[in-house]
Structure 1
């Protein structure tokens, strides 16, 4: 069977890019194919950890930039690759331009932003039948109306042992104490961020029982990491802004477990099969759950949830503040980590 050449136009968020690996796995299961992914430059280190991807191609435009001329030039540069099919995951008009300019004969996507002609294998999205983002990605790799594979293939990123050794040495990370990684950031906004005093209270409990805590995230998350360290003390290392995305993959792979908001790094932890406690606030695990078995989701399903707002419209963020540090510690223990410990919370927690 000849190898199909497929160009995937990837999403713009870390978590979505991780979930897209389920599509790549589905394509490979359908028959031999060479998969290249056109994606933001930041995502290339993630794509390098996916065995199904042949090449990651950096999109030279930032998120939200139209850049018609740049997209035309990139499309013409890709034309000699003679792709058989393009699969466009974003719903925007601009995301469909490069495959069109590249002359790719079959251009598959869900109906989106006035893309008639640009997309010639147009699918209608039934959000009831496909409530989860990963289901929608996988469906685009199948023939129209084909049944989804059961179970869905789950993302599985590959760690780099040499880089793990380098990271331990560079940051003085103790190998003899099990590490729990915290991911306190959420790019979307504060309505998805578990309170930092809760993270700090949980860190104190973990350090007291002989574990260490690594706080992971981008430079924007560094102040949050500093606040957790200041409140929790020794045994907590703030690595936010001190590592690259590929490093975060390798640090999570070395972690005993992870605690995360609904964020891109939550999906990375799940794709590394790390025991994970995922805290949801304004969003819902019904749409973007971590795709792994060893997961406990803390989601209160309040009457105002999910609102999908960046900032709590009611001003109280109860969906997050009422997820107590004790409940998250108990969730960790339910994943068979460490010795259950009676929790000593800070003043004001319940």
Structure 2
């Protein structure tokens, strides 16, 4: 079992400020509401100093994380236990030879080869971003075998964050380069194009989240250098020359936010607050407010849990009953960085 000393919330790296919005955005005062949790599980044998990443084919969580201070190796794990239940579960783990200083990230869908696709920033001198495919069993559990691996950006990226990995017409990776700016690359499968800059994003805290909507462009979410959560809609899925209106929220985070997640009739985002304790927060995002350049977060649900890194949010669906539940995974502030999961109870 890995051991670690006490872990403190790290201060964000100093970076150049994000560019000003094209026109001033209106920052509102959000309604703060306490949310509950249930079915909580702490996996004491899984510890990290960074965020976990989660992918759920067939509602079965697959986890990956980089180790704590005593080991930077990436671990893959299957959650073993009753379906749609965290309490009493265990982790079936595989520790990889690959290691990172930052959080890895799963592609949130099966790859074209029906594998689980993972991206991470390596420890080489140039800090390459790697994308690897990992084999799955017939019931969509990880075997621990990596079937293919490729670098992003022709080996020229000197990454200074973990990556984000998404899909919108093509596979998409973004990461902070050696200057703290966002570098973005696409691939049809595992052959990535040259990485391009996205100037409108400035110098954020960590990688940037993006999600396609029912239009050609995308919704982008990130944490600015000063901690403000920011959002923008772009006309193009690859907005290298766009200067969209940036909607700055009154909410702040210590690091990058979670992915944007559809749940019910809304699109949700989660983040770790700047209150000093690392309180977890989750909120619906008003896309029309983003379009208008206004603060898109009107209600913040605050969880009675603390994290030292970004949370991961997912939806689990009971196919039999049709009931769905919102779940969150995070790295705890217990002193070892143990991984946790629970169901979120929104009022």
Q: Which has the larger helix fraction?
A: 1
Q: TM-score, normalised by structure 2?
A: 0.24
Higher RCO (C-alpha under 8 Å, 6+ residues apart): 2
* Structure with the larger strand share: 2
